[in-house]
Amino acid sequence: MPPKPRTSEAVTKPPTILASSIVIAETAALTGTFPIKIGANTVIHPRAKLTSAHGPITIGEYCIICERTQISPPDAEGLVIGDGTVVEVNALVEGSVGAGSVVEVGNCKLGPLTKVLEGEVIEDNTVIFGSGQRRIDASGTMDARRRLLERHIESLRILIPSNPSKFMN
């Protein structure tokens, strides 16, 4: 039989402000010293890593933070993830800096394996795809995607056993 996942014990428990309607897996890792704020209806998959050692993290409403992501602000300014963002598997988010796998921030879409450099500002509705090509999304599917996202979150609510109390303080 496959091994039981190890329980990830946060070394330092950061101060958290968690909305009551969030879904957060027990094996998600919230570490650091700065506050972590998570908005309503957001889903944190197992083994997502949120590290607030260098700055505060604010995650908006209706977000999905997938497994194996690392969210760690590089400085005290912290980072904000807007409403309706999907941070896909293996993504690395450092503020609005650096994207690993699939990150969908606000109305932008950063494709798999694309990178955003430090200090870069990506305009709304930008799609980064391929090996760094960029274009402005004009497909008008934003609202539809947002609706799909909300349904996605509803179903994850059933699938992912939530244990916010572990991260409360």
Partner 1 sequence: MPPKQTKGEYIETDTGNKVSRKSVILGSQNIILGGKTVIQADCTIRGDLRRTVAPGQHSGNVAIAVGRYCFLSRSSVLRPPGRTHQKTFSYYPMKIGDHVFVGEGSVVEAALIGSYVHIAKDCVIGKFAIIKDCVRIEEGTVIAPNTVIPSFSLVSGRPGVVIDELPETAQEGLELKNIYRMI
Partner 2 sequence: MAPHLTTYSFPTVHISCPCDESIAITPKSPTKPGAPAAPEEDLDESEEEEEEEETFDPRAPRSNFSLFPLDNLLYCEDCKQIRCPRCVHDEIVCFFCPNCLFEVASSTVKTDGNRCTRNCFSCPICFASLVVAPTGEGQAGPYILLCNHCLWSSAEIGIEFEKPTSITTQLAEKLKPPALARATTVSFTSPLSPVSASSESYFPSMGAPTIITPDDEEDKKELSPEERFLRLKAHYAQQRAGAGTDEYGSSPGALSRLMGLYSGLGSGSRSRSFGRGIGGFSNVGGKGKLEWTEWDTVKEIRDDEEELIERIKEVGFLGTTNKEQRIAQNHQPRFIRDLRPLAALLRTKRSKRCRACRHILVKPESKPTNIRFRIKLVAMNYIPALSISRLDPTAFNYIALTPLSTHQFLLTITNPLFDPINVTLATPAKTPGRYPSTVTILCPTFEVGANTEVWEEALQTIANQPAATIKKGRKTGMLIGTVWDLGRNWTTVVIEVVPPLLPLPGELGEDGNELATEDDRLVQIPVSVRVVYETDLERDDGGLGKEAKEKREHTYWSVLGLGRISEKMPTKTVEDAAGSSAARPMSLVSVAGKGVVGRGGAGEEASGGRVNRHSVR
**Which positions touch partner 2 (CB under 8 A)?**
109, 111, 127, 129-130, 133, 135-141, 144
Find which of partner 1, partner 2, none residue 29 binds, CB within 5 to 8 Å per kind.
none
To partner 1, the closest distance from the beta carbon of 151 in angstroms equals 4
User: In a 10 Å sphere around its CB, with 0-12 CB exposed, 13-18 middle and 19+ buried, how is residue 169 labelled?
Assistant: exposed
To partner 2, the closest distance from the beta carbon of 111 in angstroms equals 6
Find out whether 50 and 139 touch, Cβ atoms under 8 Å. Answer: no
Dihedral angle of Cα 45, 46, 47, 52, to the nearest 10 degrees: 60
Find which of partner 2, partner 1, none residue 135 binds, CB within 5 to 8 Å per kind.
partner 2
Find which of partner 2, partner 1, none residue 35 binds, CB within 5 to 8 Å per kind.
none
To partner 1, the closest distance from the beta carbon of 5 in angstroms equals 6
Q: Is 22 helix (H, G, I), strand (E, B) or coil?
A: coil
Dihedral angle of Cα 123, 127, 132, 134, to the nearest 10 degrees: -70
Find which of partner 2, partner 1, none residue 165 binds, CB within 5 to 8 Å per kind.
none
To partner 2, the closest distance from the beta carbon of 128 in angstroms equals 9
Q: Which positions lie near partner 1, rule CB under 8 A?
A: 1-3, 5, 46-47, 67-68, 89-90, 101-102, 111-113, 129-131, 147-148, 151-152, 154-155, 158-160
**CB nearer to partner 1: pick between 30 and 102:** 102
To partner 2, the closest distance from the beta carbon of 151 in angstroms equals 12
Sign of the dihedral defined by the CA atoms of residues 88, 51, 118, 41, in that order:
positive
Tell me how far apart the alpha carbons of residues 14 and 51 are, in angstroms, rounded to a whole number.
9
Output b/e per residue, 100-112; b: 16+ Cβ within 10 A.
Answer: bbbbbbbbbbbbe
**CB nearer to partner 1: pick between 80 and 122:** 122
Q: Which residue has the tokens 């990150």?
A: 103
